[in-house]
Structure 1
Amino acid sequence: MYAWHGVIKKYFIAVGVLLHVLFIGLLLVLFINVYHSGYSIPAFSDKAAKRIAVKQPKLYSLLSPLFGFTESFSVHHHYFREINLPQWQGKGASGFFQANIKREHVVNVNSSTSFVNALKQALPGQTIVLAEGEYHFKSARLTLGYAGEQDKPITVMAEKLGTVKLFLKGEGIVVDKPYWHFNNLHLIGQCKKHSQCEHAFHVVAKAKHTHIKNNYLQDFNAMIKVNGIKNDFPDYGKVQANTFFNTSPRKTSNPVTPFDLMHANHWQVSDNFFYDIQKSSGDKVSYIAFFKGGSTHGVFERNLAMCSANLAQQYITVGLSLGGGGSLKQHRRDKAEFEHKAGVIRNNIIMHCASDVGIYLNRAKDSIVKNNTLYNTQGVDVRYSESSALVESNIISGRIKSRDGANIVEQHNLVLSRNFFTNADRLSEYFTAPDIGDFTWNDDEPFKLINHSLSPSASDFCGNAGKKAYLGVYSGQHFCLEALNLRAKSKR
């Protein structure tokens, strides 16, 4: 009996040792896979937790103690300030913008009914000016009557930003005619359910040369949606100096992307401010902005994107993208192999998108990613064999990663991986106060990293002409603090 007792004891000891070895081995394999993914342990755990919570809630309940453990030693970076729209004087829409109005061509409106009629009756060269006040609409779509002309666009505007609020639902203003301009408006989605407030502007079909400038766009799933219909495509649009934001995560399974473009070519999205873009239902994944659907020659430049600011970062938000979440080949323009071609992402600040990458290229051919600063993101992903990208002169927290056969040429980037165990962002060592957007260099050491043989970018984030090569979003030694609504310091 004693002999059997000894055998059983040795058996359990051996099994215990073996199980511990297997457990340690599995942990090592997991650690190695996490390390090669480019994510930190807390970031990997956080993203996995959010994915599993959506797709397998029961498994999430089982694993939640493990996710809670990794979260316990994670370092979080936040904006640490509240964005108060009337007091914001940084990137995006500004009360200082004044549009030129030819008084002899003005159509004045002061009611919802007169505005709807003016949209249908305005002629080339006319300007619809809304009187100060609030405008509410019963219809889920507002339509246009006539096309503008190249030298006679039709303009819709308020004389001053913040004085006119349009409360919309459904599809919003449907722009299907060319040469329409929209300035100085505050468009607000007002619906009982978030799924009912899709767009502020739906730009479709023949709406070439649409300009949307200096507006507030608030509480929609996709504030600006652009797409072709059959063989008509709304090319050559401009979205400039607007502010996009939501006051709560969107409770919808519909796509949530403030600027969502399919099919259209030669769009410029510049000097805008995006913040608090999150989605709390469906797959709980949103994007700041993307071009996709076989489109070409899109440009994102000098934009400020904060995935979370007033709202806590509870869900997954991807920053700027060429290709977005993808589309079926038969739904792309000319059934293209690519989602986007010859796209440019330059001189943007993308920050506080902690759960995912700041820039994502999905079947994005001949792309340029240049002079961007990505802070508190997981970096840059370039995915699928159709993707090819020059990634140059960027400052990136996280990593630059090629996935599924993508081709990347990397030149002169400052890339700092996040702390593997805590997810702390090491870029905070280089800048004065990046959490609140002060990207002033701490010292002159980074200037030694600049490769002056590279060609300069276009005008930098601060609006300075690119006369020589630089690293990150601004040339020279002084960052434009006012672009982040920070008080400018005296030059040293």
Structure 2
Amino acid sequence: MRPVARLALGAALLGACGVVSALFVVERMGVAPRALAPYVEKRSSGHNPAIVGAGQYASRMLLALDRGEVRPVLQAELHALAIGAQQVAVGGSGGEAAQRVDVIDVDGLRAAMKEAAAGTIITLAPGTYSIGGRALEANRGGSAEAPIVVRAAQPGSVTLVSSVLMAVKVSAPYWRFENLTIDGACQRDDDCEHAFQVVGAASHFAAVNNTIGGFNAHFKINGSDGRFPDHGLIEANTLFNPAPRATRQPVTPIDLVAASHWTIRSNIVRDFVKMHGNQISYGAFAKGGGSGNVFERNLIWCERELTGQPGQRIGVSLGGGGTGKSSCRDGRCITEQDGSVLRANLIVGCSDAGIYLNSAAGSRIEDNTVLDTGGIDVRYPTSSAQLDGNLVDGPIRARDGALLRLGDNRDTGLWRSFVGHHPVRALFAAPTRGDFGWAGDAPLRAGGPAPESREDLCGAARGATRIYGAFEDFTACRRP
């Protein structure tokens, strides 16, 4: 071999070794390009124009390699899905013993809620109800056999427009709200905190088939005076914000603190951007020392319409960002969550982790599909999790002493994001545009059928053939 050829070969080998070494370091560091990009741009700002320009270019390249072209997905017809709020009304029968009360204005609604007893069904006439001055109060208890129900007869026919800190405060057990539209309409985002605050003795709360937008935390659930609103249900709701929230307050559509045994099922949660403060927001979390909470069959789309915004969006978390001791169920928060489950969720388009566990012990993370996010991140020695059947467009990571028990999952090494290689994302037709059909064959798992018969994201029974992720065929998620 000629000297020049040997030099060229040596240079190529050194270059290849350098690339391999760099990718190894990247994998060990555990920092995704989408997280590194804003850091690079921030560190290069304030310098001479050449450095600023180089930082901006590097940031754009990192995001392009990791996320591709991110555009608002206006054409994704989420209203046509059998997930989230539906056009067909739920509930309404109540049995022969039900006491039916019809209301036509907000004063009548306040009076009916004040006088409600177990079995009362309050039906709102079609129209717009403006909530001003103070919240609607749900402070008289129903019962397991006869909850108190507040409802619209037909979805889309009743809109509650709130200009107060919280639209509805629930402090007594067995209240159910269904088929409502609730809009936050405050001049300052700080003044529209919650559509529902569920506190203290308000166990067995239920919200089903509602469309709620324009709040920092659409559902705020927490203890009060040593009592905790356990055994709640949030099912088939659509939660969103039409614009980024100009606030330093927490922005998390489902903000569950210290309560246990909640079921969060079949909701659409999307577009929850926090503009001020730490700029970190979550689609949903459970924290504060609760246990036995289940998040299943939800579609969480961090940035569907509100793309290109600064800050960090995390899909769903057990543990969130931690809890002050005074708000913890046990007064200490030895763990933020214990024995909670994330199952068959589709989590898409997040600028940070799709799933994040912070001091969450005995967690089960099963059959989730996680696309265009920073992957699954399990952190701290008090976190332990069993992961099985997940389809992850990104890495599954344990850090800072967390314990993982990995079953059969399919994920992507972090280094691939730095070279723009996304094999899991490529399994889908056009996921960033809302088309979650398979581009080819569905990714089959090894082994026999699932040990338990459970519904997938679309409500279909799992078949004998096991497939990674939240669903077997996304067309089943569309209404006939």
* 1:292 lines up with 2:283 in the alignment: no
State the match for 2:154 in structure 1. Answer: 160
Amino acid at match of 1:43: R
> In 2, Cα distance between the equivalents of 1:456 and 1:59?
58
* 1:465 lines up with 2:476 in the alignment: no
More displaced 10-residue stretch of structure 1: 199-208 or 65-74: 65-74
> In 2, Cα distance between the equivalents of 1:439 and 1:379?
18
Amino acid at match of 2:185: Q
3-state DSSP class of the match of 2:194?
A: coil
Q: For 1:402, which of 398, 403, 425 is the aligned residue?
A: 398
Contact in 1 for aligned 2:346/2:470 (Cα 8 Å): no
* 1:444 lines up with 2:444 in the alignment: no
Q: For 2:349, which of 348, 352, 357 is the aligned residue?
A: 352
Deviations 1:191-223 (A, max 9, x none): 111011000000000001001000011010000
Quote how far apart the aligned CAs of 1:424 are.
5.3
> In 1, Cα distance between the equivalents of 2:319 and 2:47?
31
Identity of aligned residues (%): 33
> In 2, Cα distance between the equivalents of 1:438 and 1:424?
19
Deviations 1:222-252 (A, max 9, x none): 0000001122110000000000000001000
Quote how far apart the aligned CAs of 1:307 are.
0.5
Quote how far apart the aligned CAs of 1:297 are.
0.3
> In 1, Cα distance between the equivalents of 2:475 and 2:47?
46
More displaced 10-residue stretch of structure 1: 333-342 or 149-158: 333-342
Deviations 1:8-62 (A, max 9, x none): xxxxxxxxxxxxxxxxxx999976543323444x424224258x58xx9858999
Q: For 2:320, which of 321, 324, 330 is the aligned residue?
A: 324
More displaced 10-residue stretch of structure 1: 168-177 or 291-300: 168-177
Amino acid at match of 1:409: R
State the match for 1:94 in structure 2. Answer: 86
Question: CA 1:360 to 1:252, structure 2 compared with 1: closer, same or farther past 3 Å?
Answer: same
Quote how far apart the aligned CAs of 1:81 are.
3.2
> In 1, Cα distance between the equivalents of 2:342 and 2:439?
26
Quote how far apart the aligned CAs of 1:427 are.
2.2
* 1:428 lines up with 2:425 in the alignment: yes
Contact in 2 for aligned 1:393/1:411 (Cα 8 Å): yes
Contact in 2 for aligned 1:431/1:438 (Cα 8 Å): yes
Question: CA 1:123 to 1:78, structure 2 compared with 1: closer, same or farther past 3 Å?
Answer: same
Alignment of 1:199-218 (within 5 A): 199-218=194-213
> In 2, Cα distance between the equivalents of 1:206 and 1:257?
22
Deviations 1:141-174 (A, max 9, x none): 2212411011010000001111111011202200
Quote how far apart the aligned CAs of 1:429 are.
2.0
Question: CA 1:78 to 1:424, structure 2 compared with 1: closer, same or farther past 3 Å?
Answer: farther
Contact in 1 for aligned 2:449/2:466 (Cα 8 Å): no
Q: How many residues align?
A: 454
Q: Which runs of 5+ in 1 are unaligned?
A: 1-25
3-state DSSP class of the match of 2:396?
A: strand
> In 2, Cα distance between the equivalents of 1:395 and 1:83?
25
3-state DSSP class of the match of 1:70?
A: helix
> In 1, Cα distance between the equivalents of 2:196 and 2:48?
38
Q: Tell me the TM-score normalised to structure 1 length.
A: 0.85
3-state DSSP class of the match of 2:114?
A: helix
3-state DSSP class of the match of 1:231?
A: coil
Deviations 1:269-300 (A, max 9, x none): 00000111111111111000000000000000
More displaced 10-residue stretch of structure 1: 166-175 or 64-73: 64-73
Question: CA 1:258 to 1:209, structure 2 compared with 1: closer, same or farther past 3 Å?
Answer: same
> In 1, Cα distance between the equivalents of 2:320 and 2:221?
14
Amino acid at match of 1:67: G
Q: Which runs of 5+ in 2 are unaligned?
A: 1-17
Q: For 2:39, which of 39, 44, 48 is the aligned residue?
A: 48
Question: CA 1:360 to 1:125, structure 2 compared with 1: closer, same or farther past 3 Å?
Answer: same
Q: For 2:105, which of 101, 111, 123 is the aligned residue?
A: 111
State the match for 1:82 in structure 2. Answer: 74
Contact in 1 for aligned 2:45/2:55 (Cα 8 Å): no
Please tell me the root mean square deviation across aligned C-alpha atoms, in Å: 2.8
Q: For 2:119, which of 122, 125, 128 is the aligned residue?
A: 125
Amino acid at match of 2:176: H
Alignment of 1:2-401 (within 5 A): 33-40=25-32, 42-48=33-39, 52=42, 64-73=52-61, 74-75=64-65, 76-78=68-70, 81-82=73-74, 87-102=79-94, 105-168=99-162, 169-314=164-309, 315-334=311-330, 335-353=332-350, 355-401=351-397
More displaced 10-residue stretch of structure 1: 460-469 or 132-141: 460-469
Amino acid at match of 1:279: K
Q: Tell me the TM-score normalised to structure 2 length.
A: 0.87
> In 2, Cα distance between the equivalents of 1:63 and 1:161?
54
Q: Which has the larger radius of gyration?
A: 1
